[in-house]
Structure 1
């Protein structure tokens, strides 16, 4: 696969992977849940509402009589004499006749998908009491503008996904903005983030194609994966001195971005962070970094440090492309050689290899065997994906985990021993390893088949798997694999794969 096609495929993968996170609840808020004492009550005064009653006799609207939906709606503060405090999950979901709505001053939260896909809803009046806007709350609504009251503290994942917003003012009260919150708002021209926001989450402004101006506060320390990916109208951006990390594909495809200066505080730049920024002629990057993924900048971009000196980011030695961090260690970001049997050296030009990057050996179809040095402690996801000739691999003794899709489609791999240091196996780690007959798993394992966004089949398509040697006890294994989809056949996922688990080996 050529570089351009691979880059496109990777970009699509990043978007699809990240989108699954829209449904992932944030359980860290510590907000106390209200207790419902009665559900599904049909209102009498006024008629047309369905609600749930809390133990304090306040209510949450949970539904609406769609057969009698007006175009405009003003929700009263009280229904059947009870105070309305919440608009519940999916309460007005797909009420396509609704064009405008006014919420009462008693409402404090709008639940997940409450007005999602109300395709005619062009106006909504929010009360000064509102604090929380849930996931997908107004996703798909043709809102061109919205006035967020100064009481709002939280905007959920995908809250305004695919809205027609051309402007939005975020109040200083906002503390958190979820992933994909304003994704695909293609008319949005400018955004100023409030001073209380410390990070920009995954895909928050992805494909906001009209976005020309972004103001980042001095509180921001991290810009998440694909945060501004595809913002093709963005020409310039000033990064705050508080910034420490820019994640994978954060500004990928910002084709009009002409120059960037990363502050000295930045220590980490993710894979393809500025890749596809075709107008990016110059970038100023800190002299010393802790991490920098492959293809962080386009090939034509001249990289300099803050003193104006040329600042190369990568070098290649014996087919091993590695990153120059100006540290004593490095990461092998991409193998560009053609060896069939490879022993990765512990050092590349005097720098200790401590990690193998995302997709570093992906698609190396001629590679039959590989030995990794003991200095390596981490290997990125999809590192060996599609190495169809790979028959054997010696993993380093201090490896901390097997990441998602790491050995996906390694169709010649028959057996593998995981070192005793491994604590996790990611989702689809061995997907379609159709020749895999046995694997040795250490007792140190604490999770299997998991990644950031899902729990999935670690051994999907491993039709030949006969024996799993687990160094721990049967009780440990049962706990480890409880509620985990471990093995399925391919392409018939309903076909049972018969295998044995041998304990204490």
Structure 2
């Protein structure tokens, strides 16, 4: 009865029969209920049982309840706190999602399946972060190192948070985990995460930069939907699929590089990315689904590194009339007879990955990277770093040094965190030779201009 209101104490028996469960949707949209007491004889609270009881501000769960269903207290907007009794053994997905006034969750000291840390709900060994209360005070939060999974809707609508630190232990980010964290402006996804769930960062309006590590294999549907200030996204080389709506309406995104590992791009994945000017489709992509780039009003450069993939309905509808499709010599599926790109200007280019056209010892792709011409035998990239492995653990680095220029040699074992080696080197207008110990380990080296 959606008209139920005020305080409700569920009886232990009805007509002599014990009350043992609260069914699915039992109190759905009882928006005038303010307080509910569940007796100890009840063992289960069904899915969506108190969904949208928007004025519910007090709930007492009897120490007999063993299971709380999925989304059981969804959208109980006035609920500020909740106590989980010792008897509870399972709490469903999103059980406290959209409880926008919730400041703390307390778990009974005798509960062997769940625990709370400063009002945040975890399973007992703290490998699953189940729920962070939506109205908990504080702008920054560091997830404990024990956590491997961030649960469904775990941080949904936590609008106070501006920064969340995810530890290297995390391997999965659940469905809608950070949805509507509208003030979240910084997030680092660590190596080790293999999947980003559907709608994980949906409507994170303040999020500006995201780096997806190589360990991630899939970007879920709507993962970054309407992150309309997102202007930089790096997708790791392990991603094979980009889900439907993945970057829908990311208005500030002007370019994106899709790695070679990707084979499919979902429906509406980049629809309404109105400032996207250039997109490179790698050779391995076999399908672009319908409306993928619909209403990308600034998209003028569409670059294909392989043959034409299957193109869905209106995949490039409403892009500028002067948009060009760039392909390499020998690529198939782009002829007028194929009809996939009717109305587009198709520009055929030499493949810079094909070899060394001018026979100068530099691969064409390297010359293109350095802004030189692979067709001109006299064009060689100006900067050249050479490494020699000497006896023992000694390395020799050779590079040209301009007069009075200051250089720093840096090393890294992951190409993310770089450490400068010893002193600043001053160029003399000739080749610089520097020797270092590799300490028997493997690593990467680079030369940077020193400040």
TM range (shorter): 0.3 to 0.5
Normalized per residue, which structure has more helix?
1
The TM-score with structure 1 as length reference comes to 0.43
Normalized per residue, which structure has more strand?
2
The TM-score with structure 2 as length reference comes to 0.47
